[in-house]
């Protein structure tokens, strides 16, 4: 089945940028949707962004205009480019696969990455 390996997390200052990567071990062509979730300390996991096989995207309002999700099917990898980072972006970020994207609504898939920590602090 699908295995997801995440990378790219780290510590950055407010206003900085990071790019997260999520590499799938198998073909993602049959996966309807993939996305990024994040879980801030003491809070519930929330959707950050999602992308369909065809490239349709959706974003949480809190990151719209700052983050960009993309997909490279040749590399079986999705990315999350995070710009203008804020302290409230601090969270463990998880890659998700096997979901369904209906317009702007992403239904969570069954596959998860191990998580990568993003810390935004001065």
Ranking 28-32, 67-71, 93-97, 103-107 by mean pLDDT, the lowest is 28-32
- 43-60 mean pLDDT: 95
Percent of the chain with pLDDT over 70: 95
- 96-100 mean pLDDT: 92
What pLDDT is attached to residue 114?
A: 96
Task: Output the six-digit token pair for 107.
Answer: 């239904």
- Residue 16 has a CB neighbour count (10 Å cut-off) of 15
Q: For residue 119, is pLDDT > 60?
A: yes
Q: How far is CA 51 from CA 16, 43, 78, 80, in A?
A: 24, 24, 9, 10
Task: Output the six-digit token pair for 91.
Answer: 């969270």
pLDDT tens per residue, range 65-82: 999 999 987 888 899 999
What pLDDT is attached to residue 76?
A: 80
- 82-104 mean pLDDT: 95
pLDDT tens per residue, range 100-112: 998 889 999 999 9
- Residue 48 has a CB neighbour count (10 Å cut-off) of 25
Per-residue pLDDT band for 35 (boundaries 50, 70, 90) equals very high
């Amino acid at each position: 089945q699908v295995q997801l390996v995440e990378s790219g997390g780290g510590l950055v200052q407010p206003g900085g940028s990071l790019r997260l990567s999520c590499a799938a071990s198998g073909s993602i062509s049959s996966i309807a949707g993939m996305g990024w979730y994040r879980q801030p300390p003491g809070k519930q996991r929330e959707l950050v962004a999602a992308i369909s096989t065809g490239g349709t995207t959706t974003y949480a309002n809190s990151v719209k205009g700052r983050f960009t999700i993309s997909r490279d099917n040749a590399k079986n990898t999705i990315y999350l480019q995070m710009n203008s980072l804020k302290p409230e972006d601090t969270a463990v970020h998880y890659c998700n696969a096997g979901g369904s994207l209906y317009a702007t609504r992403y239904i969570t898939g069954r596959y998860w990455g191990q998580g990568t920590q993003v810390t935004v602090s001065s």
